[in-house]
């Protein structure tokens, strides 16, 4: 087969990875959780854990960012079989978009039906505060605008043009809202549109203003490719953005976006976010 007719992801590779994992775990996870920057603590909540560092998993890429442990954690959360990605793969690390989304295809082959994505994001919506948790209702795939869509190239013709208007599952969002109400944490829950830029630079003032005009409420450097592939596989998706900083939109402001602030806010809110996710999982 010539290279031009080959999918950029190889079913056989994903299958090998999935089979390798399935032969080593007693569980069959139905929920996958991708832990964003500093949010890997979610995986520590699982019971009866089986842990696989990425470097030990056949065909799996390796994580390079600080604050990312880089391992798959299988276990039970509120009685549900889950797999957590502690550390994700970012395009800005130099991985291509196919590699970034590789784990999602593996999750599908493991039997996962629901994908929960979390990330740390900059708040664009002026009404958002640092520490807010935004339920993602939609996304803007900015790298996709620039041709970096993980589904580009030869692909399964049965799902050549997947729908994205229903990317974020309404029933899951509804359950999550219920969970937030039961927990009494709705005061810092927001709903909005997540926009992905590749990074690794934070946004300029002019860029933030453009994104606000486009209707984005939060901006970050991840999540969207994984969601696109999850939908391609037929997974139901729920996403949360922790608003770790407010973007600068004023030329007179002395504030500067920095990774330390992001990690600091994450530490402050990480347990609340974990509680919300585990409560949601318990309701699935
Ligand atoms: C993406 O990166 C992987 C790992 O480096 C490589 O095997 C693959 O050929 C690349 N895919 C594309 C489409 O460039």
Question: Residue 118: CB within 6 Å of ligand 1?
Answer: no
Question: Residue 98: CB within 6 Å of ligand 1?
Answer: yes
pLDDT tens string 236-248: 999 999 999 889 8
- Closest protein CA for atom 10 of ligand 1: 96
Question: Using CA atoms, how far apart are residues 105 and 112, in angstroms rounded to an integer?
Answer: 10
- From the list 54, 68, 168, 196, the catalytic residue is 68
Identify the three-state secondary structure at position 172: helix
Binding site annotation covers 88? yes
**Dihedral angle at the C-alpha atoms of 158, 161, 165, 171, nearest 10 degrees?**
20
For this structure, is 1 an active site residue? no
Number of alpha helices (DSSP H) and beta strands (DSSP E) in the chain: 8, 9
pLDDT band at 160 (very low <50, low <70, confident <90, very high): confident
Q: Which atom of ligand 1 is nearest to the CA of 97?
A: 1
pLDDT band at 16 (very low <50, low <70, confident <90, very high): very high
- Closest protein CA for atom 4 of ligand 1: 99
For this structure, is 3 an active site residue? no
Range of lowest pLDDT (51-65, 171-185, 211-225, 231-245): 51-65
Domain range summary for the chain, segments of one domain joined by +: 11-283
Q: What angle do CA 68, 225, 67 make, to 5 degrees?
A: 10
| pLDDT in the model for residue 265 | 78
Question: Residue 96: CB within 6 Å of ligand 1?
Answer: yes
Domain 11-283 of CATH type 3.40.50.1580: yes
For a pLDDT cut of 70, what percent of the chain falls above it?
A: 96
- From the list 32, 54, 93, 218, the catalytic residue is 93
Question: Using CA atoms, how far apart are residues 108 and 30, in angstroms rounded to an integer?
Answer: 9
Binding site annotation covers 165? no
Q: What is the distance in A from the centroid of ligand 1 to the CA of 275?
A: 37
- From the list 18, 90, 125, 196, the catalytic residue is 90
| pLDDT in the model for residue 168 | 98
| pLDDT in the model for residue 38 | 76
Binding site annotation covers 68? yes
Question: Using CA atoms, how far apart are residues 37 and 120, in angstroms rounded to an integer?
Answer: 6
pTM value?
A: 0.92
What is the mean pLDDT of the segment spanning 34-50?
A: 89
Q: Is-contact 235 108, C-beta < 8 A?
A: yes
Binding site annotation covers 245? yes
End-to-end CA distance of the chain: 43
For this structure, is 191 an active site residue? no
């Amino acid at each position: 087969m010539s290279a031009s007719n080959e999918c950029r992801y190889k079913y056989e590779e994903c299958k090998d990875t999935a089979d390798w994992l399935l032969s080593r775990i007693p569980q069959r996870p139905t929920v996958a959780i991708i832990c964003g920057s500093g949010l890997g603590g979610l995986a520590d909540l699982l019971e009866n854990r089986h842990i696989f560092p990425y470097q030990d998993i056949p065909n799996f890429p390796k994580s390079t960012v600080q604050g990312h442990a880089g391992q798959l954690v299988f276990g039970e959360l509120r009685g549900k079989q889950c797999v957590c990605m502690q550390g994700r793969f970012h395009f800005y690390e130099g991985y291509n978009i196919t590699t970034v989304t590789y784990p999602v295809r593996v999750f599908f082959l493991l039997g996962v039906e629901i994908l929960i994505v979390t990330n740390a994001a900059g708040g664009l919506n002026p009404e958002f505060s640092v520490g807010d948790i935004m339920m993602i209702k939609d996304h803007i795939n900015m790298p996709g605008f620039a041709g970096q869509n993980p589904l580009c190239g030869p692909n399964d013709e049965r799902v050549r043009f997947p729908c994205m208007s229903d990317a974020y599952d309404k029933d899951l969002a509804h359950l999550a809202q219920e969970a937030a109400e039961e927990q009494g944490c709705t005061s810092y829950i927001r709903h909005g549109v997540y926009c992905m830029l590749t990074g690794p630079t934070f946004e300029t003032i002019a860029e933030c203003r453009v994104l606000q005009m486009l209707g984005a409420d939060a901006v970050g450097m991840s999540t969207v490719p994984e969601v696109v592939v999850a939908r391609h596989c037929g997974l139901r998706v729920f996403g949360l953005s922790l608003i770790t900083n407010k973007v600068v939109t004023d030329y007179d402001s002395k504030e500067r976006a920095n990774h330390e602030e992001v990690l600091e806010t994450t530490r402050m809110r990480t347990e609340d976010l974990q509680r919300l996710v585990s409560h949601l999982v318990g309701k699935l």
